[in-house]
Amino acid sequence: MHDLHDFDFSAWAAAQGALVEQALTAWVGQGAPAGLGEAMRYAVLDGGKRLRPLLVLAAAQAVQGHAPAALRAACAVELIHAYSLVHDDMPCMDNDVLRRGKPTVHIAFGQAQALLAGDALQAQAFELLTPAGDEVPAAMQAHCCRILAHAAGAQGMAGGQAIDLASVGQPLNEEQLRQMHRLKTGALLQASVLLGAACGTTSAPALAALSTYGEVLGLAFQVVDDVLDVVADAATLGKTPGKDAANDKPTYVALLGLPAAQALAQDLLVQACAALGQSGLPQDDVQALRALAHQVVGRSH
Amino acid sequence: MHDLHDFDFSAWAAAQGALVEQALTAWVGQGAPAGLGEAMRYAVLDGGKRLRPLLVLAAAQAVQGHAPAALRAACAVELIHAYSLVHDDMPCMDNDVLRRGKPTVHIAFGQAQALLAGDALQAQAFELLTPAGDEVPAAMQAHCCRILAHAAGAQGMAGGQAIDLASVGQPLNEEQLRQMHRLKTGALLQASVLLGAACGTTSAPALAALSTYGEVLGLAFQVVDDVLDVVADAATLGKTPGKDAANDKPTYVALLGLPAAQALAQDLLVQACAALGQSGLPQDDVQALRALAHQVVGRSH
């Protein structure tokens, strides 16, 4: 077994995160009319954890992927994530006023600008994936667009949000809850891994293993999210805790109880790492993915 | 000079429109959770004029373009248009309750579902452009995504809407008004022509001529829109007329007066047709584009 002591995750994450921040700072809202560009940048350049971009870059590293393509994909998936938060926070959705410790976009810029900023961020994600010229091979551009569009749309994130919307106050069983989260948060997390993989060449078994890793990680993320909604306070979480229970939303904690939900998260971590172990990829190359799984399950916010 | 009598536009538009309706009916909201899929289909399958899809198909015809790619691009641009209407009608934007004679999506399905349906439609546009397998060459897929994402985003449609938002009650001069509309409605209309062109191979002068045609047509469309907002009634228009004036929005009619706005529309029609004449493309192949320009300027709704 490889252990994480061989790998300096903090240094890796700091270096990769800096590349992502630099690219996002340069790209987000570039060429936008003043007010719109400001709202787009406010929504993205806010000290987010950049989990999805790091997953893209870690997966790309696992397959010796094309570096410029991976950086673009990393930023694109973050724009999709950021736009979903902007729209999700709006009064007609979750009506949240606080996000990562700051006023949400519609509080800071008004609802109309928030709506447009979200829409423009989604479009820009696909712009980032499709640069003109030969910086990124066309087949890789098309493949990345296919993965991201599917994960963001009605059979992915937006579909999961619609199921979530319809499920408030409904008793869901574990399979229904799992399906909702597989779409709502899982699809984009899994897509992050698949985007990284699409920046290189992989054997079918390695791709299947990475896909499993991404799926399990996505589920683990949501289980931990539900646990943190119960155990963390607002200062740590950077958003309003206890909202799920207050809104009578189905959660893993409500369904399984806190100890079983916490045990499930640990079990999923083992499964994610097992998928990497069975991928056939050199284990040195998947260390960043392995560390990210530990990070997701061990996080406190 | 070629005249339109040689070309049966009605038959062409009926045949092409039927292909588009059939494809949209098969594709829109496919695989979506029930409520979301219903809202997506309600937003799209509503007897719209399908101007943008027809422009894509007409431009593809002008360059002997790849037929499956052109049909996908035609549907994709319509999904972007449809999503923009859904979001634009919402209470935080134009707060419109009537669209093409039907209750708007947020009236019929609620604001949250309308927001999600718009978001999912945008994602599906890019899904349609990027089918797996070899149905459409990868380079064509990437090129179409690039054109559509740019036209939909902050430097296109969403950017124009943001300028529109900021301009309510502001006196704009003709150049500022033109720039706002170039983005808000012009970018997507021009992109429709460019998408069709991207489905084939064109000389640089032909592409420039088609681009000019698309730009001029986009402007003509908006001038006619402003004229119709003043002269048409709700039954003909299928939406609430007089809203621009009531909302103190800048329009060509407000700026130029009605007769001069009508004359400008005619002048733009001449310019659009001149661009086609100078494209170097066989004039038989641009008849559908020529007829569409007449259609846009002559329309009554």
Q: 3-state DSSP call for residue A232?
A: coil
Of B112, B132, B161, the CB nearest to A116: B161
Q: For chain B, how far is it from start to end, CA to CA, in angstroms? A: 29
Instruction: Say how many CB pairs under 8 Å bridge A and B.
Output: 184
Which residue from B160, B174, B177, B202 is spatially nearest to B289, judged by alpha carbons?
A: B202
Residue A53 has pLDDT above 80, yes or no: yes
Closest alpha carbon to A79 in A191, A181, A182? A191
Report pLDDT for B235. 55
Residue A93, CA atoms < 13 Å, CB-side half-sphere = 24
- Residues B16 and B59: their CA atoms lie apart, in Å, by 12
Of residues A68 and B236, which shows the higher confidence score? A68
Among B4-8, B101-105, B273-277, B296-300, the minimum mean pLDDT is found in B4-8
- Set of chain B residues whose Cβ sits within 8 Å of the Cβ of A125: 149
Count CA within 13 A, CB hemisphere, residue B261: 23
- Sort out which chain A residues have CB atoms less than 8 A from B156's CB and list them: 123
Q: Which amino acid is at B243?
A: K
**Contact residues, chain A, for B38 at CB < 8 Å:** none
Check pLDDT > 70 for residue A268. Answer: yes
Q: Give alpha helix (H) positions in B174-257.
A: 174-181, 187-198, 204-231, 234-237, 243-246, 252-256
Answer whether residue B223 shows pLDDT above 90: yes
CB contact under 8 A, B112 and A142: no
- B1-14 average pLDDT score: 77
Residues of A in contact with B111 (CB under 8 A): 92
Query: Rounded distance, CA A72 to CA A45, Å?
Result: 16
Strand segments (E) across B115-163: none
| Residue whose C-alpha is closest to residue A195's, from A129, A126, A147 | A147
ipTM: 0.94
- Which chain B residue's Cα is nearest to A166? B35
Distance (Å) from the alpha carbon of B101 to chain A's nearest alpha carbon: 24
pLDDT value of residue B301: 73
The predicted structure's pLDDT at residue B101: 86
Q: Which residue has the higher pLDDT, B173 or B44?
A: B44
Nearest CA among B187, B216, B188 for reference residue B275: B216
| 8-state DSSP, B6 | G
CA distance B19 to B11: 13
Residue A142 and residue B146: Cβ atoms within 8 Å? Answer: no
Judged by CB atoms closer than 8 Å, whether chains meet at B122 and A124 is answered as no
Type of residue found at B199: C
Mean confidence (pLDDT) of chain B: 92
Does A133 have pLDDT greater than 60?
yes
Whole-number Å distance between alpha carbons of B15 and B57: 11
Is A4-298 in CATH node 3.40.50.1360? Answer: no
- Tell me, rounded to whole angstroms, the distance of Cα A170 from its chain centroid: 26
Query: What number of other Cβ atoms are within 10 A of residue A83's Cβ?
Result: 28
Give the pLDDT of residue B233: 65
* Alpha carbons within 13 A on the beta-carbon side of A248: 6
Q: What is the mean pLDDT of residues B5-27?
A: 94
Closest-CA distance of chain A to residue B233, Å: 28
pLDDT category at B131 given cuts 50, 70, 90 is very high
Q: Which residue has the tokens 């070309």?
A: B7
CB distance B53 to B133 below 8 Å: no
pLDDT at A239 over 80: no
Q: Which percentage of chain A shows pLDDT scores above 90?
A: 80
End-to-end CA distance of chain A: 29
DSSP state, B172?
A: P
Q: Which two tokens stand for residue A41?
A: 């940048």
What DSSP element (H or E) covers A219?
A: helix A204-231
Asked whether the beta carbons of A247 and A227 are under 8 A apart, the reply is: no
Q: Are B70 and B198 in contact (CB under 8 A)?
A: no
Locus of tokens 């045609």 = B213
Cβ–Cβ < 8 Å for B186, B47: no
**pLDDT for res B243:** 63
**Average pLDDT for chain A:** 92
